[in-house]
Structure 1
């Protein structure tokens, strides 16, 4: 029988623990350090990324640790020694985290999340940070494009059956942040407050002797404002039957097959001729931002999106990485930090703690850059800075509601020029970097960051 869910600390890669074990032995574990999460590039053709998952990540950081059973298992497996086992038994994250707001945009080089603390506690967060942010940001970025394509027409997230059962909850949450109106996933409604919708599938119709009997049953249970699925057999006959059963107050019909532009046009004409001018038309069936854009002129009132928002076929990975950018050479709160950076071809990084700045003209986002701070400069974030203080001393300070994150996403998308909001392929709207005067001394000697498995 499978074990119960693991502590947040176990949601990691083995090499995080083997690095930690070495640092416990040689004393580096207590050296001050700063790590940053960022994307070197966006998926091909994408103009922007949208940060998702911060609200899921922060509680896991606050609860980060290992229980006695997990520590004993790590010892039995030879992953860690007894010194490290003792370290893990008492581990709680006590550092600081600054981040872009959930729902905000990011671009190549944007320092979306900065973690400061001891080398040991910071490195252990790597896999968890990337697992949550990469997944949810990929969902949010794809969902934002679909939201833009849909315009004022609402989108329903309905991809639960196309992904892992727990990932499905995160998908629904991230899609809602990005602008979807609701989800079919009940757990997302229960845990996160995402509005839930849903009526019936083809199986409901097939389980009755006739389509009419199915519609009568559904209307009796849910009222005439329900949505009837009309394409189990023949769409035209399904519409006529739906109107006969529910009358002019029928809330909506759903079409899940065929040429959606043609079928919706025929459906609208038929509904209007039958007097159901207020009955809405909802379409589903392998929709994404490109199909939704192509349906812009069709008489459609809403979309249901499943596979293309919940799985990799609908959104390339966000490709975020988590890199050490500054480290102290001795333990102690007063030990100075020095910037460190990778120099690998195509994977170079910029050392030093960064503070992102943005420039707007007439409300349009036209620039983003970062200042590389002095090694030990105190970081004081202003209300208009891109980053916000989210964790201080291990305690979560930033806990906006899901609707607040949704409002952030709406404002962020509105700040883009029309070309950058287009779903057509193009270059990233911005490339984020430091000015020459901000770059750290190139003679700084880099130290190995958390390299090994994912780059």
Structure 2
């Protein structure tokens, strides 16, 4: 859900300049050559998963749809292009009327993917489709990286909720996108209010060390926080001495204290000590939240600790070591002329160095074994085998330039849980390994 669903005002700026210059210079040259109107098919895929990852997670599809809808060359954008002499006058005139009028199919958001999976297929004229390359890749590479990291962290956390806390560790706009992608991947809430406003993600947060240091004593700080936010608040207990802070917290709030947060030190040891102390003080229901540079491995190491929730920042918003998915946007088919009935011809890059691609407009399906567990990602450009017709993965997102694939963010979140559960059990191992499903081409 976004702010439009909530009836809240939101600015809708043009996304047309979220692109590389060569998209426009290619357009200009194609217009001059008479090839700009040739029907074309572009596909987004990755040749490999980040090293050691067992599956990828599609994130950002909803944001791609917003970007396509708002890809408009308004007067300010056109004035900039003219002043910088980026394209000529005929191209500026063409851009003034630009609207994407083609079709887009793709893996629905939250679905898992593997090497070669056509996670997005853009169909239209060369001119209208090529312009979307950079913004589509910018969104999908970032959001899918964060969603994949979030998924691994959610697996490590089990039933314990995860809080996204990375806003101060990345660009302010990337922080909002990261909070959205983290929610798709399994996080329960965010500290970022812009993400809460725009996407209706639950927000949480109480106080930092600065609030404690502001007051003359830790007791004064806790007293002020409880008076303002109630006994159900979360008190940060590691500014000075943890044991003394816990005693003070329970003394002030009583057994109804909501939670304590530990943000430094040996989290495993401290969590056990604080749990014993809280129980001895009669605060058996007070929860323990831990933060401090967590990643999926640190979370997994705390599985046996009496921890109730995790807050994750830097490692999440940077993809836990893999901040991009290396997705590419490649022309895979085009017509030999401009008429609507001219047949498509497969085309593919054949360069050396592992950067080859496979031509043809593709479909994708996931084959299951006898127990209903996924066993292969099957990709083809010919007829779909009868046994895979009902297992196809691509869904219609844009039809004739109209958005038809929007859905609530919770739908993507639920889809990811189901998709991950349908993979072999080894998919959720944090140890490094090959993709859990092989990619087969027909």
Q: TM-score, normalised by structure 2?
A: 0.94
Separation in 2, partners of 1:332, 1:324: 18
Contact 2:375 2:438 in 1 (8 A): no
Aligned length: 427
Change (3 A) 1:286 1:89: same
| Cα deviation, residue 420, structure 1 | 1.3
The answer for the alignment partner of 1:134 in structure 2 is 141
Distance 1:15 1:306 in 2: 35
Matched, 1:360 2:374: no
What's 1:392 paired with? 399
Distance in 1, matches of 2:390 and 2:311, equals 37
State the shift of 1:316 in Å. Answer: 3.9
Aligned partners of 1:308 and 1:315 also within 8 Å? no
* Aligned equivalents of 1:315, 1:43: Cα separation in 2: 7
Q: Confirm or deny: 8 A CA contact 2:52 2:433 kept in the other structure.
A: yes
Q: Give the alignment partner of residue 207 of structure 2, picking from 197, 200, 211.
A: 200
Superposed CA deviations along residues 65-85 of structure 1, whole A, max 9, x for unmatched, are: 211221232122221111111
Q: In the alignment, which of 213, 219, 227 is matched to residue 220 of structure 1?
A: 227
Map of 2:52 onto structure 1:
45
Q: Distance in 1 between matches of 2:12 and 2:119?
A: 28
Residue pair 1:9, 1:66 contacting (<8 A) in 2 also: yes
- Please list, as runs of the form range in 1=range in 2, the aligned pairs for 1:9-408 lying within 5 A after superposition: 9-311=16-318, 314-345=321-352, 346-361=354-369, 362-373=371-382, 384-408=391-415
Cα separation, 1, equivalents of 2:232 and 2:391: 45
Deviation digits for residues 330-365 of structure 1 (CA, Å, limit 9, x no counterpart): 112111110000111201111000010111232321
Going from structure 1 to structure 2, the CA distance change for 1:145 and 1:192 (only over 3 Å counts) comes to same
In the alignment, the residues of structure 2 paired with residue 402 and residue 6 of structure 1 have an alpha-carbon distance, to the nearest angstrom, of: 21
Distance between the aligned counterparts of 1:230 and 1:340, measured in 2? 61
- The gaps in structure 2 that reach 5 residues or longer are 1-10
Equivalents in 1 of 2:408, 2:13: separation in Å?
Answer: 26
Shift of 1:383: 6.5
Measured in 2, the distance between the counterparts of 1:260 and 1:194 equals: 27
Contact 1:109/1:433, CA 8 A, preserved across alignment: no
Shift of 1:6: 5.8
Distance (whole Å) between structure 1 residues aligned to residue 277 and residue 410 of structure 2? 38
